[in-house]
């Protein structure tokens, strides 16, 4: 069996990528995470998987989709420092669960792991990509740091795969 197929069904996989600002990676305020996500998403689409990247509406209001074989869905968020990512991740997670748009949810960023318990109710496989120890970054206040620590515990408790890149 091809390594790019589901081991049980032999079919290609439906993968939802959640946590980044959006694609393409040259959007305003896009960073290394968006570039890395774009490369992974395009590569997986080229291998025959159905890949969906959830974009934040205020970064990518009118996504051209498909983008290099990747479906883009823009959803709203609360565009503040502490609520932008979690509000968007919650909506994207609920979209995946209620619309059944993916077999695997790939969360990008440690804080997004807070929503892993929802995915287990929906019986979705999950991957969490962490790029370092977020709670040690000086930009976060005390409450945000404590939430990031909880998210890390959730990742190692609930995710099927955790990938850490420092």
Q: Report pLDDT digits (tens) over 77-88.
A: 999 988 999 999
Q: Binning pLDDT at 50, 70 and 90, where does residue 6 land?
A: low
Euclidean distance between CA atoms 73 and 94, whole angstroms: 13
Q: At residue 28, does pLDDT exceed 80? A: no
pLDDT attached to residue 59: 86
43-52 pLDDT, tens digit each: 999 999 999 9
- Which ranges of 77-141 does DSSP label H, i.e. alpha helix? 84-99, 116-121
Domain 14-164 CATH assignment equals 3.40.50.2000: yes
- pTM attached to this predicted model: 0.89
What is the residue-averaged pLDDT of the chain? 89
Residue with more model confidence, 126 or 140: 126
Contact of 128 with 156, CB cutoff 8 Å: no
Q: Binning pLDDT at 50, 70 and 90, where does residue 1 land?
A: very low
pLDDT attached to residue 29: 72
pLDDT attached to residue 8: 57
Nearby residues of 162 by Cβ (< 8 Å), 6 or more positions away: 127, 128, 130, 155, 156
pLDDT attached to residue 145: 92
Question: How large is the average pLDDT for residues 101-114?
Answer: 94
């Amino acid at each position: 069996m091809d390594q790019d197929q589901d081991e049980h069904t032999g079919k290609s996989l439906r993968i939802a990528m959640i946590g980044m600002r959006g694609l393409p990676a040259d959007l305003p305020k896009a960073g290394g995470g968006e570039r890395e996500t774009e490369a992974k998403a395009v590569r997986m689409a080229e291998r025959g998987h159905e890949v969906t990247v959830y974009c934040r509406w205020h970064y990518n209001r009118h996504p051209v989709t498909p983008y290099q074989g990747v479906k883009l869905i823009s959803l709203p968020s609360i565009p503040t420092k502490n609520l932008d990512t979690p509000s968007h991740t919650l909506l994207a997670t609920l979209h995946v669960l209620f619309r059944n748009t993916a077999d695997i949810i790939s969360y990008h960023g440690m804080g997004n792991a807070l929503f892993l318990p929802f995915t287990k109710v929906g019986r979705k496989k999950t991957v969490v990509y962490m790029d370092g120890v977020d709670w040690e970054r000086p930009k976060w206040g005390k409450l945000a740091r404590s939430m990031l620590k909880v998210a890390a515990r959730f990742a190692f408790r609930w995710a099927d795969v955790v990938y850490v890149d420092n």
